[in-house]
Chains A and B, each alone.
Chain A
Amino acid sequence: MSLKQLIRKSVQDYPGKTAIVEGDHAVTYDQLYIIITEIAMDLKSIGMGRGSLVGLRFPNSIAYVAITFAIWEIEAIVVPIGLELKKTEVGDLCHTMKLNAVIQDHGPDHEVRKKGQGFPVSYFVDHRSAVIENRYIEKDIAFIRFTSGTTGVSKGVVLSHRAICERIEAVNQTLRINADDTILWLLSMAHHFVSTILLYLAKSATIVIVNKMFAGSILDAANRMKATVLYASPFHYSLLAADTSDKMLSTVRIALSTTIELPDSVFHHFYKRFRLPVVQAYGIIEIGIVCMNTEEPARKIGSVGKLLPAYEMKVKNTDCYPGESHLCGELWFRGPGFFDAYFSPWADADKIMEDGWFDTGDIGWVDTEGYVYLFARKKDVINIAGMKVFPQEIEAVLNMHPDVEESYVYGLKDKRFGELVAADIVPKGSSESISRNRILQYCRQRLASYKIPEEIKIVEAIPKTAVTSKIVRRNRWRKE
């Protein structure tokens, strides 16, 4: 099964049904497919094809979806590039991945490409090389995503057509998206696509793109379009909960949250305002969505739900993480649709996993009824209101600054956003000679804004392990 067959099935079954709404524009499934095939032909005509790595840097739009499917239509590989990334970060990504082309929403006027009758899509292609690696074709790769930038420990997760098809079927056994659903879309498509947008279109649902983040616009769109599914971050839910109008979300059957732990207070405020429980789910790009609290969201508040039927779970090393009344352990999962490889350095997933089991690095516990609760993350990733960054990526930039001897970046707990970035810096010269402002300015030119440290401390030394001289990363517990 390939991803282009998924969209074709919806086109066959529901040609005249609205696929995507964006502001005043809407396209039906057959219109969307015409746009996809026109863009696909265009991309082919400029030398892209099977196994090409195509970067996509585009805002949320009908065009974003059409271009993604066009890339799959020609059996090339989609590499989403977040809009928030700075030029140097994008440059690093293109270089590390040896992208064959990058498609963007802006460029010089004479290079604009317009395709799609009735609903023209404009884009710009920076064609870079025609060299294609055989292993992408052998493994039938569809999608490669870096959590954040490519430096540090971010490895890039490689997904094949098979993996993606399997994982969306697995999650939909529980989510049950179908042609009667209308999904209100608030997140970044560059960060969320395969288990969401792709799933909705494969199941012939309608997607409503809301590019405004405020409660008023979200509620208006939900009511006007009779949305049945809301997929948003805890931050959106807290904005909605504070809305003082009398508008309700009466058509919504499920309000989902996955990007970061939903604070209990947000759950309660939202529930009080809309009489609707926010459903938490647990998913990471390597394995897809493996837990979802659809059954008892209002009774099991704070839980990411039960294990989905397609998966197996084990909790390992339960004696290593005491500290609460529950015995916590590392969460391991096994099941369909897991990733195929890490990109940089390339490592096949079957060599990383033991007998099909994937160690998420997250710490959690399970109650007597099988509900899973996340407790902490073992991995270093910092999560700022759902946007993730590895500290090593920020340290790499800080360490390049001429006044910095070395640095240590970590997450600071924040009530509103989960975590914020903080850095300890050992100066090269005296501590008086180093300027925080100069360092911040340096970061601003090289890092997406959410990755720039909110707090910089000048320190004399950074704790290291005695033997390997590796930085000792403190345990960052997630529970209040």
Chain B
Amino acid sequence: MVQIEQIKEQLIFFLHNEIFDPSIQINADTDLLESGFDSFSLVKLLVFIEKQYSLQVPEDKLTEDTLRNVNRLSEMIYAFQEK
């Protein structure tokens, strides 16, 4: 099981490298949607989560709340791992 701090680090690394413009610095509290996270990015992120954590996030968990920032996203992934 991957620890929550590690999930956060991995997500920040992924988002910084693959989603956002390199000029945008993100941390666990950065509001992703306000930073330009769009449906193109969502596809990329879901594929990443599926590969990295063997987890297919169900559609009903894809809400503004769970995708607000890396903290919320990591909590969701962590909770799924526990199940």
A and B assemble together: yes
User: Is the CB of A214 closer than 8 A to any CB of chain B?
Assistant: yes
Would B42 and A449 count as touching, CB distance under 8 A?
Answer: no
- CB-defined contacts of B60 to chain A, threshold 8 Å: 242-244
Interface of B is mostly: helix
With beta carbons under 8 angstroms apart, the residue of A215, A217, A235, A244 that contacts B43 is A235
A-chain residues with CB within 8 Å of residue B63 when the two chains form the complex:
214-216
Chain B residues positioned under 8 Å from A66 (CB to CB): none
Specify which chain A residues have a CB less than 8 angstroms from the CB of B51 in the assembled complex. Answer: 454
Q: Does B38 contact A (CB under 8 A)?
A: yes
Asked whether B18 lies within 8 Å of A452 as measured between CB atoms, the reply is yes
Chain A residue numbers with a CB within 8 Å of B46 are 416-417
Instruction: Please name the residue on chain A nearest to B64 by beta carbon.
Output: A214
Chain A residues numbered 203-258 whose CB sits less than 8 Å from any CB in chain B:
212-217, 233, 235-236, 238-239, 241-244
Question: CA of A452 to CA of B18 in the docked complex: distance in angstroms?
Answer: 9
Select which of B19, B38, B47, B58 is within 8 A of A213 by beta carbon. Answer: B38
B17 at the interface (CB under 8 A from A): yes
Taking the closest CB of chain A, its distance from the CB of B36, in whole angstroms, is 9
The number of residues on chain B lying at the interface, defined by a beta carbon within 8 Å of a beta carbon of chain A, is 22
Q: Which of A75-98 contact B (CB under 8 A)?
A: 84
A387-B41 Cα distance, complex, nearest whole Å? 12
Q: Is the CB of B59 within 8 A of A241?
A: yes
- From B43, B58, B67, A384 is in contact (CB under 8 Å) with B43
> A450 contacts B40, CB within 8 Å?
yes
Alpha-carbon gap, A452 to B63, bound state (A): 25
Q: Which residues of B contact A236 (CB under 8 A)?
A: 39
The contact size tier of chain A is 20 to 34
B33 at the interface (CB under 8 A from A): yes
Q: Could you say which of B17, B47, B64 contacts A417, with CB atoms under 8 Å apart?
A: B47
Q: Considering the chains assembled together, what is the distance between the CA atoms of A444 and B18 in angstroms? A: 7
Minimal beta-carbon separation of A121 from chain B (angstroms)? 20
Let me know if A420 is at the binding interface, CB within 8 A. Answer: yes
Q: Would you call A448 an interface residue if the criterion is a C-beta within 8 Å of the partner chain's C-beta atoms?
A: yes
Q: A7 within 8 Å of B by Cβ? A: no
- The answer to whether the Cβ of B55 comes within 8 Å of any Cβ in the partner chain is no
Report how far A226 CA is from B46 CA in the complex, Å. Answer: 31
Contact of A409 with B by CB under 8 A: no
Q: Distance (Å) between the CB of A185 and the closest chain B CB? A: 13
Q: What's the nearest-Cβ distance from chain A to residue B61, in Å?
A: 8
Q: Which 7 A-B pairs have the closest CB atoms?
A: A242-B59, A242-B60, A213-B39, A214-B64, A84-B40, A385-B43, A449-B44
- Write the residues of chain B forming the contact surface with A, with a CB cutoff of 8 angstroms: 17-19, 33, 38-44, 46-47, 51, 56, 58-60, 62-64, 67
| Interface contacts beyond A214-B63, A444-B18: sample of 17 additional A-B pairs, CB < 8 Å, sorted by A | A84-B40, A212-B64, A213-B38, A213-B39, A214-B67, A215-B62, A216-B64, A242-B60, A384-B43, A387-B40, A417-B43, A417-B47, A420-B47, A441-B17, A449-B19, A450-B43, A454-B47
Instruction: Report 22 cross-chain contacts, Cβ distance below 8 Å, ordered by A residue.
Output: A84-B40, A213-B39, A214-B62, A215-B62, A216-B63, A216-B64, A217-B64, A235-B39, A235-B43, A236-B39, A238-B59, A239-B59, A241-B59, A242-B58, A242-B60, A385-B39, A385-B43, A417-B43, A417-B47, A449-B19, A452-B18, A454-B47
